[in-house]
Amino acid sequence: MNKLNFFNNFSDAVCAFTKDNELIFSNSTFWSVFFDYKNFERFKKRFNFNICFLSSENIKNLTPIDILLKSDENFHTICTYQNYNDEYLNFYIYKFTYNEYKITVFKNITAQTSLEKTESRYIQLQKKYDEIKETTKMYSKLQEHAQNQVLKMGLINRISSVIRETNDIEKVLASALEEIHNFMGAYKTYFSMKEKNIFKIKYCIGSEISLTDVETEYEPDILKEIKNKNIVMTACKKEYLNADSFLPDGINRIIIPVYNKNRLLGIIVVLTKQKIQLEENREILQSVSVHLSSSIIQAGLISQLNKKNKKLEKTLKELKDTQLQLINSEKMASVGQLVSGVAHEINTPLASISSNNKLINKILSSSEQFDSKKLEILKNLNDIDIEAASRISNIVKSLKRFVRLDEAEFQEADINKELDLTLKLIEHELKNNIKVVKNYSQIPPVMCSVNMLNQVFMNILVNSCHSIQEKGNKGFIKISTLSDEKNLIVKIEDNGAGIPLNIQNKIFNVGFTTKKIGIGTGLGLSISKKIIELHKGTINFTSKQNIGTEFIISIPITSQT
C-alpha cells in the first residue's frame, strides 16, 4: 500500500476501499479522529445524515457510508458521527476514485459548524440586541415624554384648582404666572392685558419693581404673530420696545397670546436664559393660555353679575319699600271709608251720654228731695253711660289697632280673635240685613303679620257686604276656620250678587274695580293677594252670578319667610 501512504500527509481522515468495498487503508489522522474504531460495521452505523445530495431508494435503512460505497460516482454529504463518549461530531464526507480505489475523506467540520451556529446565534442576538436597544431607546423617550406630560398635567391641574377655588383674577394670574415662571426656568414673567389698542402689565413675577399698569409696545412682526394666535420665541435686547433698559445677552423672550375666541385678552411674556424647545412645550403653553382665558372671562362675568346683583338687591329693597307704602296707603284708604260708619257708631252712644247728662243735671238742679224712684233713674242713667262709654272705647281701640303700621313683623296670632276684631270695625256695614255665621274651629296660633292679615279680612268682608247690598235683599256671610298639619284655612262665603264670569280673571289686577269713583280704589284685592303671597300662602275664590262668592285663604302655620 505504499502508493497510498502519501495520504498520511492529509490533515483530514482518509481511508481507501477496493472495488468490492473492502477497507484496505486508513491514514494516521483517521485513527486519531476515530480513536474508538473497533470494526467497520459498528463504525458506519454511528453515522447519520445531515445533508445528502444524492437520492436513494432505501435511504432509511442504509447508513451514509453504505450509500457512499454503493455509489459509482463521486459523492459528498454532511453527516453526524456519535462516538463512544456520546459526543456528536459533524463531518463533511466526500468520495472520489483514485486508480482502482475508492478514496473517502472525512473532513471534521464540527468546529466550523459550531462557529457557523455561534455566528448565526451571534447575528440573531445582535439583531435582538439592536431591537431591544431601539425599544429601550423608544421606551426611554416615552418615559421622558410621560414624565414631561405628568409635569405638564400637574401644572395645568394646579392652575385649574386655583381657578375652581377663586374668581379673584389677581390670584388666578399670580398662580398661572408662577407656574409658568418655574416651569420655564424664567427670571421674569408678566401678563399684559389688551386695553383698546395698547397692552398694560397687570401682574409680574421676578421683578423687584412694581410694573402694574405699565404700557408695553412690541415689534410689528411680533404683533402680526400675536394677531395670528401664534406663540413666538425670539432673542431680543429689550422686553418691549419702550423699555428703559436692555436685557442681558442670551435672553429668550416667549410671548403667549391669550384669546377668547377671536378676541385678544392679553399676552403672557416669559423671559428666560434657558434653551427652550418651543415645539415640545407649545401644547402646555397653549393649554395655560386657554385656562387663563376662561378664568379672565369668568371673572369678568362674575364681576358683572355681582354688579347686577347689587343693583337688583337695591331695586328689590326699593320695591319692598314701595310695596309696604302701597299696602299702608290702601289701608289708610280703607280707614277713610270706615270713618263715616265708625263716626255714626260713635255718635249714637255719645248722644245717649249727652241726653243722660242733661237729664241728670235737671234732676240735680231741682229742689226736690231724692226719693228712691229718682235714685233708681240716676242709677239706670249711669249704667247706660258706662255701657255707651265702653262701646266708644272698644270702637276706638279696634280702629287704633287696625291702623297701626308698626305691626308688620311676624308674630303669633289667634286668627279667630282677629276675625272678630275686623267684624267689630265693619258693624256699620252689616247693619240689620246681613247675618254673620261663625264656624270657627280650634286652630293653633299662626306666625303672621297680624296687621296685614286683618287688612285682607276687612277687604273681603266689606266686598261681601257691598255685594249683598247690591243684590238688594237680606243676606248672610259665613266665616269658617280650619287647619291641617301645615296650613291654616279661612273661608269667607256670602250670598251676594256674585262676580260676573267675564271679569273673574281681572279682580286681582291692580286698579281694577267695579265700584263707583270715590268708593273703590281698585287696590283692595290686589293688595290682599300680595299680602297672602308674602305669607307664602294662596288666595282663591269661586263665584256664581246672583248666587254668591266664596274666598278661600290658606297660609302656613309656621312662618316660611
Kindly write down the DSSP assignment for every residue of 272-332, as one continuous string.
ESS---HHHHHHHHHHHHHHHHHHHHHHHHHHHHHHHHHHHHHHHHHHHHHHHHHHHHHHH
Query: Are 385 and 330 members of one domain?
Result: yes
* pLDDT tens string 172-186: 777 777 877 887 788
Write out the residue range of the structural domain in which residue 30 sits. Answer: 2-108
What's the pLDDT at 328? 57
Most confident of 147-156, 277-286, 397-406: 277-286
Domain boundary among 255, 276, 297: 276
Regarding predicted confidence, which is higher, 410 or 352?
410
Q: Is position 81 within any domain?
A: yes
Q: What mean pLDDT do residues 374-381 have?
A: 70
What's the pLDDT at 493? 94
Q: How many structural domains compose the chain?
A: 4
Q: Are strands 487-494 and 252-260 parallel, antiparallel or unpaired?
A: unpaired
Return the exposure string of 512-549: e unless at least 16 CB atoms fall within 10 Å of the residue's CB, then b. Answer: ebbeeeeebbebbbbbbbbbbebbebebebebeeeebb
Question: Predicted confidence band at 404 (pLDDT cuts at 50, 70, 90)?
Answer: low
Phi-psi label, residue 214: left if phi above 0, alpha if psi -120 to 50, beta otherwise = beta
* Percent of residues, the chain, with pLDDT higher than 70: 75
- CATH code, domain with 196: 3.30.450.40
* pLDDT tens string 55-114: 445 555 678 888 888 887 888 888 888 888 888 888 899 988 888 888 899 998 888 877
Q: What mean pLDDT do residues 161-166 have?
A: 68
Query: Are 383 and 431 members of one domain?
Result: no
Query: Are 231 and 181 members of one domain?
Result: yes
Query: Are 398 and 422 members of one domain?
Result: no
Q: Are strands 232-235 and 252-260 parallel, antiparallel or unpaired?
A: antiparallel
What cell was used for 371? 226719693
What's the pLDDT at 405? 45
What cell was used for 137? 431607546
Query: Are 355 and 433 members of one domain?
Result: no
pLDDT surpassing 50 at residue 460: yes
Query: Are 351 and 416 members of one domain?
Result: no
- CATH code, domain with 505: 3.30.565.10
What's the pLDDT at 400? 58
Q: Is position 135 within any domain?
A: no
pLDDT surpassing 80 at residue 352: no
Query: Are 454 and 324 members of one domain?
Result: no
Question: Predicted confidence band at 472 (pLDDT cuts at 50, 70, 90)?
Answer: confident
Regarding predicted confidence, which is higher, 167 or 433?
433
CB contact set of 327 (below 8 Å; sequence gap of 6+) = 452, 455, 527, 530, 531
Q: Is position 45 within any domain?
A: yes
Q: Is position 120 within any domain?
A: no
Are 83 and 43 within 8 A, CB to CB? no
**Can you tell me the distance from the alpha carbon of 13 to that of 9, in angstroms, rounded to the nearest whole number?**
10
Query: Are 24 and 59 members of one domain?
Result: yes
**Can you tell me the distance from the alpha carbon of 23 to that of 102, in angstroms, rounded to the nearest whole number?**
9
* pLDDT tens string 9-27: 888 999 998 888 888 888 9
What's the pLDDT at 336? 53
Question: Predicted confidence band at 494 (pLDDT cuts at 50, 70, 90)?
Answer: very high
What cell was used for 224? 402680526
The model's pTM: 0.39
Q: Is position 140 within any domain?
A: no
Q: Is position 121 within any domain?
A: no
Q: Is position 94 within any domain?
A: yes
